[in-house]
Amino acid sequence: MTARDALRERLDKATADLDPPFAVVDLAAFDANARALVRRAAGKPLRVASKSVRSRALIERALAIPGWRGVMSYTLAEAIWLVRAGMTHDALVAYPTADRSALGELTTDPGLAAAITLMVDGPEQLDLVDSVAAPGHRAEVRVCLDLDGSWRPLGLHVGVRRSPVHTAATAGAVAREITARHGFRLVGLMAYDAQIAGLGDAPPQETLRGLAIRLMQRRSYRDLLRRRGAALAAVREHADVELFNSGGTGSVAATAADPAVTEVTAGSGLFGPALFDGYRAWRPEPAAFFALAVVRRPARGFVTVSGGGWIASGETHASRQPLPWLPAGLRLVGTEGAGEVQTPLRGPATDGLRVGDRVWFRHAKAGELCEHVNELHLVDGAEVVETVPTYRGEGRAFL
pLDDT tens digits for 144-190? 999 998 889 888 888 888 999 999 999 999 999 999 999 999 999 99
Tell me the per-residue pLDDT of 317-373, one tens digit each, with 9 for 90 and over: 888 999 999 999 999 999 999 999 999 999 999 999 999 999 999 999 999 999 999
pLDDT of 309 strictly over 70: yes
Q: pLDDT tens across 219-271, in order?
A: 888 989 899 999 999 999 999 999 999 999 988 999 999 999 999 999 999 99
Residue range 6-23: average pLDDT?
97
Q: Across the chain, which distance is largest between two alpha carbons, in Å?
A: 73
Reported pTM: 0.94
Per-residue b or e along 161-183, where b marks 16 or more CB atoms closer than 10 Å to that residue's CB:
ebbebbebebbbebbebbeebeb
Element (H, E) at 306: strand 302-306
Give residue limits of the domains in the chain.
3-10+12-21+286-390, 27-271
DSSP secondary structure string, 204-266?
Answer: TT-HHHHHHHHHHHHHHHHHHHHHHHHHHHHHHTTS---EEEE--GGGHHHHHT-TT--EEEE
**Fold (topology level) of 27-271:** TIM Barrel (3.20.20)
How far apart CA 125 and CA 152 sit, in angstroms, is 25
pLDDT of the residue at 201: 67
The answer to whether the beta carbons of residues 217 and 255 sit under 8 Å apart is no
What is the Cα–Cα distance from 124 to 131, expressed in whole angstroms? 11
- What's the pLDDT at 311? 93
Q: What is the pLDDT of residue 100?
A: 97
pLDDT tens readout for residues 186-208: 999 999 998 887 776 667 777 78
Q: Residue 33: CB partners within 8 Å, gap ≥ 6?
A: 269, 270, 271, 272, 284, 285, 287
How far from 70 is each of 19, 65, 91, 148, 284, CA to CA, in Å?
36, 12, 6, 22, 21
On whether the CB atoms of residues 33 and 272 are closer than 8 A, the answer is: yes
Looking at residue 210, what is its pLDDT?
Answer: 75
Chosen CATH of 3-10+12-21+286-390 out of 2.40.37.20, 3.40.50.2300, 3.30.365.10, 3.40.50.170: 2.40.37.20
Cβ neighbours around 199 below 10 Å, total = 21
